[in-house]
Amino acid sequence: MTYTQKELKESTHYGALGVNPGCKDCHIPQGFKNFHLAVYTHAVDGARELYLELVNDYSTLEKFNERRLIMAHDARMNLKKWDSITCRDCHKDPNPPGADAQEAHKKLKTEGATCIDCHQNLVHEEVAKTDLNASLAAGKMVLQQEEDGGEDEEGEDEDDEDASDGGEVEAQATGEDEDED
């Protein structure tokens, strides 16, 4: 049993409405009907490698935690690249009550935002939130700024750690950059 399995069981995503999502429900895009074909044709570059790392059973929690933020960010960047297709498989048309949420969800259409831009730290233990558009633009992990405009906290402490393990963060991944303000 991995650490993440335990966390999943304690999250709101477990047991709700009789749905017990498995790791693949979020981490492997079933929307690409034939996953092996998709990998073969590089439609989901890096997905398999990252997935294997995600399900790796680290020997100690310390070792796992050392890599946690990097893996979390890689997983987010994959979701970003897929326009959160795995989330959308279950959440067809999320329409949360509340003005704030509705306002935020408009950005799905107007600013090309995707679920994982906003909904981070869903089922696993919390790690720092990362700014996915800024990360795409910078070609490396950029942490999210505080919401009330703290300008001076650029999180660039993690340099592209080791590129040898398939957790690529590619600047050209979505084909468009929307941070133009």
**Residues in 87-126 at the binding interface with ligand HEC, rule: CB under 6 A:** 87-91, 94, 96, 98, 100-101, 104-105, 107-108, 113-125
86 scored as a contact of ligand HEC (CB under 6 A) = yes
Q: Which is nearer to ligand HEC, 71 or 134 (CB)?
A: 71
What string marks each residue from 22 to 41 as x (binds ligand HEC by CB under 6 A) or -? -x-xxx--------------
84 scored as a contact of ligand HEC (CB under 6 A) = yes
Length of the chain: 181
78 scored as a contact of ligand HEC (CB under 6 A) = no
What string marks each residue from 4 to 23 as x (binds ligand HEC by CB under 6 A) or -? xx--x---xx--xx-x-x-x
- How far is it, in rounded angstroms, from Cα 64 to Cα 2? 10
Q: How many CB atoms lie within 10 A of CB 71?
A: 20
* Binding residues for ligand HEC (CB under 6 A): 2, 4-5, 8, 12-13, 16-17, 19, 21, 23, 25-27, 54-55, 68, 71-72, 75-76, 79, 84, 86-91, 94, 96, 98, 100-101, 104-105, 107-108, 113-125, 127
